[in-house]
Structure 1
Amino acid sequence: MFLLDRILPFIFSYIRPFIKWFLHVFTRLSELQRICYGARAGAPRCHQIERSLQQSKQPEIKTMLRELDEAGPYVTDRELLYFATHAVSVVGRVKHIKSNVHPDFGRLFGNCVTTIWGYKRLMHQVEQLRAEAYDSENLEHEQKLLELWKLLMPETPLTGRISKQWQEIGFQGDDPKTDFRGMGMLGLENLLYFARAYNDAAKHVLLHSMHPTLGYTYAIVGINLTALAVNLLRSGAAKTHFYNQVALHKQNFSTLEDFHKLYCYLFFEFDRFWMDSSPRNIMDFREVYQAFEITKLEALHNENTIFKTNLVVESV
C-alpha cells in the first residue's frame, strides 16, 4: 500500500497532460473553467483551483503566483481584492478565455483567488500576533488582561495585578504573563474574544473548568487550544472550514475575527468533549486533547465541513 501511494502520484503526473488535452478538446474548456463551472462553491472549488494553479507549467501563471505570494501577506483589503482582477487577466490571456463568451468565469475564478490568498494573508496575521510577546510594561496589554478578568469574574474584584486569584480562571501562577510565552498575544486575544463575543458560553465553560472532579485549568487549556487552531491553520487543514465559510456568508476573504470565532468553537466543543470523556483528572488532558484534535482533523477531511459558532447555552 505504501509503495502504491508513492507510485500513483508519479504515474498521474505523466498522464495528467494527456487527460487535460483530451478534456480540453472534448469540452472546449480549460481545466480552470471546468473546475469553476463544475465544482461546488467553497472548499471543493477552491481546493481544486489551488491545486490546478500550483501544477501549472505556464511561465506567466508561475510568475503571477510568485508575485501574489510575495505581496499577499502585507496587502490591504482593497489590494487583496485587486488580486482577483490581476489573476483573471493573466489566466484569461494565457488560456485564451474571452470574457464575452464566458462571462461567469472571471467572477467565479476571481472569488477563488481572493479566498485562497485571503487565507494566506490570515496565516501571516495570526503568526504576527502569536510572535508578539506579552509585555507587562505595555498599557494596552495590561488593560486587555484586566478586561479578561472582569468579563469572566464580574462579581469578584481583583485584589491586585499580581495575585493568586488568577489561578481561579486557570492560570498557573500569580502572574498570567508567564503563561502567554508560547502563543504570545494571540493567546490573550483568543481568550478575550471568547469572553467578549460569547460571554455566557465562556462563563459556562469556566464553570465546568471549576468542577471538583472533572475540572481543568481554563486559561491554560484555552492557550493550548490557540496552539491547536494555529496548527490547523498552518497545516492547511483549516482551509476546508474557512473556504466554506467565505462561500456560505458571501464574504470576500477570511479575517482575523473569523480565526477568533474558530477558536471559540474549538474551546466550546473541547469543553463538551472533555466532560463527555469523563477523565479521571487533569492528568488525562493530553490523551483527551489528542483525541479531540483527531476528531477535528477527520471532520476537516470532509470538504463540506464548516464549524458553526452558534454557542448557545441554557444557563451558566
Structure 2
Amino acid sequence: MSGGAGGSERPEERQRVPPPGKSLPISALRQNGLLQALVRGAEQPAGTGISEELRRAQEEWEAVEEIQSGLGGTSAGAAPPISFNEALQYFQTADLSECRKKVRATVRRQGLAALVRFLFGPPRLQPQLQGERELALAMAQCGLDDNERVHMRILQTIYKKLTRSRLGCPRYGTHWEELGFQGADPGTDLRGTGMLGLMQMLYFVMDPQTLPLAQEIFRLSQHETQNFPFCIMSVNITRIVIQALREERLSRECNRRQQVIAVLNDLYAAAFLQLYRVWKWQHKTIADSGFLLKELELSTKKKPKQLLKSLEAYVNRSPVADGLQQPSPPSASTGSSRAGEEIHFTGVCDLQVELEGEARLI
C-alpha cells in the first residue's frame, strides 16, 4: 500500500461511494458532496470518462431519494403523475358538500346597475351548465388535504413537470419557494382559489399544447432581473378567472361551448400568456406586478373572447416555446434571451397589492 497522496485519498473516496447492494442515506450523500458530483457527472456528455461506479452510485441515489422523499409520510416515487381528467373525475365524485356551503351566490346588482345588466349585460348561464359551475366554485373552496392522495399527486405532478424532474419531493420544504410559493407549505397560498388553483396549474402543465408555454413562463420567473413567484402569480390569475365566472362575464362563451371548466382553464392559460408577453417583451419586474394584474383583470372580464383567440392563435401556430417570440413592441428583442439560462431564483416578493375584485398578489 502506498503512503502517498493518492493512497491516502482513495480509501476516503471509496467510503463515499456505496458498495454494490448498499445505499448511503440521503443526508450522508448531501454532506459529503457526492450528490453534487453525481449531478455534474450526469450532465456531462457520454465518453468524457465518467466511471461506471459513479453511474451506479447516481442510480442508487435516485432510488433512495424516491423512497425517502415523502408525500406526507408516503413515498413520493410511489405516486404516479395524475392527468387533469383523472383529477377532475375525483372531484366530480368526491363529497364536496361542506365546500359547496361556502360558495357565495353570483354577484348581485341593484338599482340602475341591475337594469343596465339586464338590458346590455351578458346572457345568463344555461341551466344545464349550473352544476359544472358549482363544481368549479366548490373546488375553489376546497383546501389542500395531506390525507387525500389525489391532492398529493396533483402537487407532485406540478412539481415534476415544472422542474422536469423524474423524482418526487417532500410535502414541505424550501423547494416549494423555488417554484414560486411563499413558503414551505403550498397550501397556505391557496386561500381564495383552493384546489381549483392547483387544478389549473395541473391543466397548464399536463396539456401538451400548453406545457411548453408553462415551462417558458417558469423559466422567465427565475430570470435574474425579471423574476417573479410563478405559483403565486398563477393563483392570482385563477382568482381573476373565478371572479369573472361569478360575475357571469364568461356565460356567453360557456353557453357557446356547453362547457364551464374547460372555458375556465383556457381563459387561465390565455391570461397567463398575455401576462408573459407583456412581462417579457416590455421588460417588467416584480415592481410592476400590481399594475399588470389590474390590467389583466380588466381584460379577462371585459375581453375574454379576445384573450381566448390569442391563445388559440398561439396553440395553432406552434406548440414550442419559439412560437412565443412575437413581441407586441417590435423593438423589444434583446435582454430576455437569457430567460432560458440556469439562473438562481432570488426569492418570493412580499408585496401586498390591493386589486379590484379578489385578485391580489400575495
Report the TM-score, using the length of structure 1 for normalisation. Answer: 0.57
CA shift, 1:118, in A, is 3.9
Aligned residues: 203
- Pair 1:121–1:270, CA change in 2 (3 A): farther
* Aligned residues of 1:136 and 1:177 also touching (Cα < 8 A): no
C-alpha change, 1:174 and 1:285, in structure 2 (3 Å) is same
Letter in 2 for 1:123: R
- What is the distance in 2 between the residues matched to 1:183 and 1:129? 8
* Cα deviation, residue 123, structure 1: 2.3
- 2:138 maps to what in 1? 128
Measure the CA separation in 2 of the matches of 1:156 and 1:213: 29
Cα 1:184/1:296, change in 2 over 3 Å: closer
Q: Deviations over 1:55-111 (max 9, x none)?
A: xxxxxxxxxxxxxxxxxxxxxxxxxxxxxxxxxxxxxxxxxxxxxxxxxxxxxxxxx
Distance in 1 between the 2:297 and 2:281 partners? 15
- CA contact 2:216–2:321 (8 Å) conserved in 1: no
* 2:291 aligned residue: 287
How far the C-alpha of 1:142 sits from its partner, in A, is: 1.0
Q: 1:259 offset after TM fit, Å?
A: 2.1
CA distance in 1, matches of 2:191, 2:161: 22
Match of residue 270, structure 2, among 258, 262, 265: 265
Instruction: Give CA-to-partner distance per residue, 1:169-221, whole Å, 9 cap, x none.
Output: 11111221211232111111111110101211110111111111112100010
Number of the residue aligned with 1:297: 301
Does the alignment pair 1:151 with 2:155?
no
Q: Which amino acid aligns with 2:269?
A: C
The offset of 1:156, in angstroms, is 6.9
Secondary structure in structure 2 of the residue aligned to 1:131:
coil
Matches within 5 A, 1:180-199: 180-197=190-207, 198-199=210-211
- Give the 3 Å change call, closer, same or farther, for CA 164–206 of structure 1 in structure 2: same
Consecutive unaligned residues of structure 2, counting only runs of 5 or more, are 1-110, 323-339, 341-362
Shift of residue 265, structure 1, vs aligned partner: 1.8
Counterparts in 2 of 1:189 and 1:123: CA distance versus 1, 3 Å: same
Deviation, structure 1 residue 305: 5.0
Letter in 2 for 1:274: W
Displacement of 1:127 in angstroms is 0.9
Which amino acid counterpart does residue 217 of structure 1 have in structure 2? P
Specify whether residues 147 and 236 from structure 1 end up closer, same or farther in structure 2 by C-alpha distance, changes over 3 A only: same
What CA distance in whole angstroms lies between the structure 2 residues aligned with 1:159 and 1:292? 33
Alignment RMSD: 3.1
Give the one of 268, 273, 280 matched to 1:275. 280
CA pair 278-241 structure 1, distance change in 2 beyond 3 A: farther
| Superposition deviation, residue 159 in structure 1 | 4.9
State the match for 1:169 in structure 2.
Answer: 179
Q: Distance in 2 between matches of 1:236 and 1:119?
A: 12
Structure 1: tracts of 5 or more residues without a match: 17-42, 51-114, 247-252
> How far is 1:162 from its partner?
1.9
CA shift, 1:277, in A, is 4.1
Percent identity, please: 22
1-side partners of 2:288 and 2:138: how far apart?
Answer: 32
| Residue aligning to 2:261 | 256
Q: Match of 2:126? A: 116
> Using a 3 Å threshold, how does the CA distance of structure 1 residues 296 and 130 change in structure 2: closer, same or farther?
closer
Aligned twin of 2:58: none
Alignment of 1:184-263 (within 5 A): 184-197=194-207, 198-244=210-256, 246=257, 253-263=258-268
> Does the CA contact (< 8 Å) of 2:271 and 2:307 recur in 1?
no
**Which stretch shifts more, 183-192 or 131-140?**
131-140
Q: Which residue of 1 aligns with 2:308?
A: 307
Distance (Å, rounded) in 1 between the aligned partners of 2:236 and 2:253 = 20
The letter of the residue matching 2:308 is F
Q: Structure 2 length normalisation: TM-score?
A: 0.50
Higher normalized helix content (fraction of residues) = 1
